[in-house]
Amino acid sequence: MADTLYLGLADVALLARVRRAPVTMWRRRYASTATPFPQPVATRGAQQLFDGDEVVTWLETTGRGNNPAAREDLAGFAVLADTDLDDPVIFAGLTALLCLSRYTDGLSTVHDDLLDEADEADPDDEFLTAELEALGERLVPLARYCSLRIDAAYHAGAAFEGLMARRRRRARDGYTRTALSAPAVRLVAALVNAIGTDAGINAPLIVDPTGGGGDLLVELARDEGRTVSVALPPGDAPERRLTRRRLRVRGIDYRTLEIDGDGGVVVPEDGVVVLQLPGADDPDAEAAELLQTAEEVLLGNPADRRMVIVGRASTLTEGLPRSARRVRDDIVRTHRLRGIARLPAGLAPFEPRARVALWCVGPAPTMAPGGVPPRTMVVNLSDTELDDIVTADLVTDLVAGMQDVRGQRAHLPRFGRLVGSVELITRLGGLVDAVPTPQRTEPAVEVLARISELRAELAERLAPAAMPGVVARSAPPGTRHTLDDALRSGMLRLLPGHRLDRDLFDAEASVRVLGPPELLGTSPPRSVDRLLLAARHEVARFTEPGDVVFCTAPRPAAVVDVEGGAVVVHPARVLRSKSSELPPRVVAAAISAQPADARAWGSWTVGSIPADQADSLRVVLDELDSHRAALKRRLDAVDTLASTLTDGTASGILDLSQHD
The answer on pLDDT for 585 being more than 60 is: yes
The answer on pLDDT for 67 being more than 60 is: yes
227, burial (CB in 10 Å: exposed 0-12, middle 13-18, buried 19+)? exposed
The answer on pLDDT for 226 being more than 90 is: no
Top mean-pLDDT range of 211-215, 371-375, 414-418, 427-431 = 414-418
- Rounded to an integer, the average pLDDT of 92-114 is 89
Q: Which of 52-66, 283-297, 365-379 has the lowest mean pLDDT?
A: 365-379
Shared domain for 165 and 65, answered yes or no, is: yes
Shared domain for 203 and 312, answered yes or no, is: yes
Can you tell me the distance from the alpha carbon of 301 to that of 174, in angstroms, rounded to the nearest whole number? 27
Shared domain for 540 and 551, answered yes or no, is: yes
- Rounded to an integer, the average pLDDT of 639-650 is 80
State pLDDT tens for residues 443-461.
677 778 888 888 888 888 8
- pLDDT value for 478: 62
Closest CA to 80 of 7, 159, 150, 168: 7
- pLDDT value for 1: 42
Assess if residue 446 is contained within a domain.
no
| 375 and 408 Cβ atoms separated by less than 8 Å | yes
Q: What rounded mean pLDDT belongs to the chain?
A: 82
* 301 or 172, greater pLDDT: 301
Can you tell me the distance from the alpha carbon of 208 to that of 196, in angstroms, rounded to the nearest whole number? 15
Shared domain for 417 and 499, answered yes or no, is: no
The answer on pLDDT for 212 being more than 70 is: no
Residues in the chain: 660
- pLDDT value for 206: 81
Shared domain for 407 and 389, answered yes or no, is: yes
Can you tell me the distance from the alpha carbon of 273 to that of 40, in angstroms, rounded to the nearest whole number? 50
Can you tell me the distance from the alpha carbon of 75 to that of 15, in angstroms, rounded to the nearest whole number? 10
- Rounded to an integer, the average pLDDT of 583-600 is 88
State pLDDT tens for residues 546-566.
999 999 988 999 999 988 889
| 40 and 120 Cβ atoms separated by less than 8 Å | no
In which band, very low, low, confident or very high, does the pLDDT at 439 lie, cut at 50, 70 and 90? low
Top mean-pLDDT range of 361-375, 380-394, 415-429, 606-620 = 380-394
Shared domain for 299 and 342, answered yes or no, is: yes
> Which CATH number covers residue 536?
3.90.220.20
Write the single-letter amino acid at 20.
Answer: R
- pLDDT value for 558: 94
Write the single-letter amino acid at 250.
Answer: R
Closest CA to 360 of 192, 567, 509: 192
In which band, very low, low, confident or very high, does the pLDDT at 494 lie, cut at 50, 70 and 90? very high
The answer on pLDDT for 441 being more than 90 is: no
Assess if residue 454 is contained within a domain.
no
Shared domain for 325 and 341, answered yes or no, is: yes
CA dihedral for 237, 242, 248, 250, sign (positive or negative):
negative
| 287 and 321 Cβ atoms separated by less than 8 Å | yes
Can you tell me the distance from the alpha carbon of 207 to that of 266, in angstroms, rounded to the nearest whole number? 10
Which strands sit side by side in the sheet containing 573-577, from one edge to the other? 492-496, 573-577, 547-551, 557-561
Assess if residue 198 is contained within a domain.
yes
The answer on pLDDT for 476 being more than 60 is: no
Write the single-letter amino acid at 230.
Answer: V
Write the single-letter amino acid at 166.
Answer: R
- pLDDT value for 373: 67
Q: Final residue of a domain: which of 175, 200, 228? A: 175
Assess if residue 250 is contained within a domain.
no
pTM reported for the whole predicted model:
0.59
Q: What are phi and psi of 255, to 5 degrees?
A: -115, 155
Alpha carbon of residue 608 to chain centroid: 44
The angle, 0 to 180 degrees and rounded to 10, between the axes of the packed helices 287-299 and 322-333 is 20
Q: Which of 111-115, 357-361, 418-422, 580-584 has the lowest mean pLDDT?
A: 418-422
In which band, very low, low, confident or very high, does the pLDDT at 440 lie, cut at 50, 70 and 90? low
Residue 94 CB neighbour total at 10 angstroms: 24
Domain span including residue 77 = 5-175
Assess if residue 432 is contained within a domain.
no
Strands (E) in 369-525, as ranges, are 375-380, 417-420, 480-482, 492-496, 511-514
State pLDDT tens for residues 389-398.
888 889 998 9
- Rounded to an integer, the average pLDDT of 30-37 is 88
Q: Reduced to 3 DSSP states, what percent helix, strand and coil does the chain have, rounded to the nearest 5? A: 45, 15, 40
Shared domain for 396 and 516, answered yes or no, is: no
- Rounded to an integer, the average pLDDT of 134-155 is 84
Assess if residue 593 is contained within a domain.
yes
Shared domain for 284 and 399, answered yes or no, is: yes
Q: Final residue of a domain: which of 175, 195, 216? A: 175
Shared domain for 420 and 521, answered yes or no, is: no
Assess if residue 51 is contained within a domain.
yes
- Rounded to an integer, the average pLDDT of 120-139 is 90
Q: Which of 329-343, 543-557, 612-626 has the lowest mean pLDDT?
A: 612-626
- pLDDT value for 473: 63
The answer on pLDDT for 85 being more than 90 is: no
State pLDDT tens for residues 347-356.
887 777 788 9
Assess if residue 307 is contained within a domain.
yes
Shared domain for 167 and 186, answered yes or no, is: no
Q: What is the CA radius of gyration of the chain?
A: 30
Q: Final residue of a domain: which of 390, 410, 426? A: 426
**Number of domains into which the chain is organized:** 3
Percent of all residues in the chain with a pLDDT value above 90, rounded to a whole number: 14
Percent of all residues in the chain with a pLDDT value above 70, rounded to a whole number: 88
Per DSSP, the residues of 235-301 read ---HHHHHHHHHHHHTT--EEEPEE-TTS-EEPPTTEEEEEEES-TT-TT--HHHHHHHHHHHHHTS
Shared domain for 384 and 514, answered yes or no, is: no
The answer on pLDDT for 223 being more than 50 is: yes
Phi-psi region of 346 (alpha: psi -120 to 50; beta: other; left: phi over 0): left
Can you tell me the distance from the alpha carbon of 634 to that of 625, in angstroms, rounded to the nearest whole number? 14
